[in-house]
Amino acid sequence: MCLVFKRIEKKEFPSIVRNFGTQFATNEVLIFLDADTEVTEAWGKRLDQIWDELDRGDLLVTGAKCSVPNDPTMIEKYWFDKLGVGSDPTYINGCNIVTNKTTFQTIGGFDEELETGEDVDFAKRSKQEATLIRHDSAFRVIHHGYPKSLMAFIRRELWHSTGDLVDRSHFFRSKVALASLLFLFFHTFALISLIFEIAVFSICVLGIVLICMLSSVRAFRKTSLYQILMGTLIYYFYYIGRAAGIIKKRFF
């Protein structure tokens, strides 16, 4: 097998880079991986098994949720490893997508206006084109690029918030963006009321806790109570990052 490397001279959005790479693909099968993604032996065996299905041009997007490293940090163990457990995935992670040219061209590639969240958007448009999205756990990869600390996690979510802030349409279609705005609202009023009215402060704090807890229940309801409590804690920092993205977009 011959590998061909193409270089883009300046930093671009992942969506742009992925679309750029498909221009040089000489086979029908398209695979999207990230540099910090480790492919497993099971991944290679599964690709061999479905190669003919992909090669004949069936409308198919497959792949799997990324696994965390064998020695996960708290964030990796109680967030990234548990997200989506027990529920049907709605999209395939951008760092582990397996598809083909026919599907890619039918969907129209990745939206190059999106700095992040292009994989979620890709899945939505795939469904509109009656494309089969098949989450296949056999396509196991290990993602080494997950944030290892809370600060890195907050910075990651600040960056991810840009996908919801492209325009008003994206913002009001995003439940996360609306929850982040409510989270920011409660924080603002909590700080103001702390000086003047302790009862209002208490209500705002309760609102913040409820946002985080309900989000955790929704995300981890099929796991354990301990996981839900840990998820509630991590969701606080998740919304800190998302709310910071709103502030950055509005004032900077």
Q: Give the pLDDT confidence of 16-72 residue by residue, as tens digits.
A: 999 999 999 989 999 999 999 999 999 999 999 999 999 999 999 999 999 999 999
Q: Which residue has the higher pLDDT, 170 or 228?
A: 228
| Cα distance between residue 16 and residue 113, in whole Å | 8
φ, ψ for residue 40, nearest 5 deg:
-95, 170
pLDDT in tens, 72-88: 999 999 999 998 776 77
Give strand pairing partners of 96: 33
What pLDDT shows up at residue 88?
72
Structure tokens given for 89: 């995935």
Ordered by where they begin, the domains of the chain are 14-143 (3.90.550.10), 150-251 (no CATH)
pLDDT tier at 104, thresholds 50, 70, 90: very high
What pLDDT shows up at residue 86?
67
Q: How far is CA 49 from CA 64, 89, 179, in A?
A: 15, 22, 42
| Cα distance between residue 192 and residue 134, in whole Å | 48
pLDDT in tens, 214-226: 999 999 988 999 9
Q: Which residue has the higher pLDDT, 251 or 152?
A: 152
